[in-house]
Amino acid sequence: MACGILLLLGTDARGESVYLLTQVTDTIISEDSVRVGGEEAFVYKKKMKNLKPHSPHKATIMAMVLPGSAQIYNGQWWKVPILYGGIGATVYGLSWNSKYFRKYKTAFLDYTNYLDRKSEDPETPYPTDNTWDKLMIAGNSAADFTPSQQQRLKDQLKNKKDYYKRNRDLLYIVSGAIYIIQIIDATVFAHFYDYEINDDLSMSIRPTTGFSPVTGGNVGISLTFNF
């Protein structure tokens, strides 16, 4: 698109100088517009259909309903594998940490209850099929642990429980962040979908002459901006 500004200098009938500032813009006429009858109307409707604007609102709704669909709508297919790779890793991490959180939580509660019963009754038998021995190195058992070792095992079970819980909660936050970020990404890039930057950014200055019924002959300077 070219936009021109004409600065014209002329002389009126009284011999006084007159300055005229005129803005000139290009008019683009499609070759199809010269056609007549029903064919012209058909071409016009077809072009209007192709010029339907890209909808950021639609992209936002699509991203909220199905993550990744808005990226496809925006023409950014390459983001979908990255998005679902992140979702898959997050889901796997949630499953892993939730699994071990439940195991260590159960073992911690069971072992705490066992120690409480044993403190009340020293003759309390050691359970052979318990949840905490299964989390220890194969072949090891806490049956013969001293009081200090029992306390150490209890603390270790609690620390592990808290560790996996913290990781699980963090991954819940990450999954929520991924969901929100892909919505923001879809909305922002939908707004810029129809935005074009022309490499032909230039300005030209040239002299011009013309004739006006008011000023008669005149000369001036033409400034043309291409963008």
**In a shared domain, residues 90 and 177:** yes
Instruction: Report the domain count for the chain.
Output: 2
* pLDDT of 9 strictly over 50: no
Phi, psi of 76, rounded to the nearest 5 degrees: -110, 65
**In a shared domain, residues 68 and 177:** yes
Taking a C-beta distance cutoff of 8 angstroms, is the pair 171, 90 a contact? Answer: yes
- Supply the pLDDT for residue 78: 95
- Supply the pLDDT for residue 207: 73
Arithmetic mean of pLDDT, 220-226? 61
Arithmetic mean of pLDDT, 211-219? 61
**In a shared domain, residues 123 and 134:** yes
**In a shared domain, residues 119 and 146:** yes
Taking a C-beta distance cutoff of 8 angstroms, is the pair 225, 2 a contact? Answer: yes
**In a shared domain, residues 23 and 61:** no
- Host domain of residue 48: 1-53+196-227
